[in-house]
Amino acid sequence: MTVRVSAGGRLHFGFQNLSLAHERLYGSLGLALSEPRLVVECERAEGIGAEHPDAERYARRAVELLDVPGARVSIRETLPRHAGLGSGTQLALAVLTGIARAYGREPRVRERAPLLGRGGRSGVGIAAFESGGFVLDAGHPTTRFTAERPRDGSWEVPPVIARHPVPDDWRFLVVVPDVEPGKSGREEDDDMRSVVERASPGIADEVTAICTRRVLPAVVGDDLATFGAGVAEVGRLNGAWYADAQGGVYRPPVGELVRELESDPAIEGAGQSSWGPTVYGVTDRARADDAHEAGRRALSRAGVGGEVRVVAGRNEGVRID
């Protein structure tokens, strides 16, 4: 039996708090996308068979956790790696889910994600995998912050404190420029710890106010303009925390792309997803073609190539066939 697992990418708009002066750390917001998507096929096997190196690594860990003989894993569609679309988390959870279902087991992704090294900061990718939609998570107690990366499995995935479906008419411009990938692994861990140790608590207060007074009401009330402006401001404020680590409020050349998109009437708000280099723009169905053209124009003016698409949100979790 072959099990096919399909999951969409996600946008990560930023964190509510990176300061050790507050009781809870991180607390991320983001949403699931219909595209690009990841499609993984898994079947029972003796030992591990996987051509993709990350898929092989996650398959070995999943086999250990599930106590099964092995699995063969094939990647049919993939998300851009380290581009700010959640490729690592979606792949880890898809492989775990596919192998578990091939053996008639429950994957229990929220419980096992930390054992795969996922959910140590943001819970958006895991929540998007589970149920899609717009997600705000509670973050971690600040007392759990450590100077060194904690052992896999020693944390719990941040609980979801708000989840709402993305309105049907909303669309998201996704621009992935052809530049160096975003931070990951040890480099990301080191930079995040450095950011947290010196982050201003005042920025956290501003971000939290924007989330509760503008972003969340806008999702519930189908107010695209307020939502777009709100998440863009959250991104700018997060960029003030990251400026030393990434070379500015946005990592180069993301700033040029964001400025071009913000000035276009088809876009209600723009920013950088996670560490980038993916840039998003908030728009709607009626302006989708204009938004797509704005994305191509922004790349051209920045002097870089890249991929541009306009996609809907995804209001369902992982699909298993």
Contact 28, 12 (CB under 8 A): yes
Specify the CATH number for the domain of residue 254.
3.30.230.120
Strands 70-77 and 47-50: parallel
Alpha-carbon distance of 126 to 29, in angstroms, equals 12
Select from 26, 28, 27, 24 the least CA-distant residue to 142: 24
pLDDT at 141: 96
User: Residue range 255-280: average pLDDT?
Assistant: 97
Pairing of strands 319-320, 160-164: unpaired
Exposure string (b/e) for 33-67, b if CB count within 10 Å is 16 or more?
Answer: bbebbbbbbbbebeebebebebbebbbbbbbebbe
Percent of the chain scoring above 90 in pLDDT: 91
Q: Report whether pLDDT(240) > 90.
A: yes
- Within the chain, strands assigned E span 2-17, 24-44, 47-50, 70-77, 134-137, 140-141, 160-164, 170-177, 269-272, 279-284, 306-311, 319-320
Per-residue pLDDT averaged across 224-244, rounded? 96
- 94 three-state secondary structure: helix
pLDDT at 182 over 90: no
Over 90: is that where the pLDDT of 153 sits?
yes
Q: Are 125 and 89 in contact (CB under 8 A)?
A: yes
Quick: pLDDT tens for 106-150: 999 999 999 999 999 999 999 999 999 999 999 999 999 987 889
What is the domain range of residue 154? 2-320
- pLDDT for the residue numbered 148: 84
Does residue 191 register a pLDDT over 90? no
pLDDT digits (tens, 9 = 90+) for 203-227: 999 999 999 999 999 999 999 999 9
Looking at residue 252, its pLDDT comes to: 87
Q: How high is the pLDDT of residue 190?
A: 86
Provide the domain count of the chain: 1
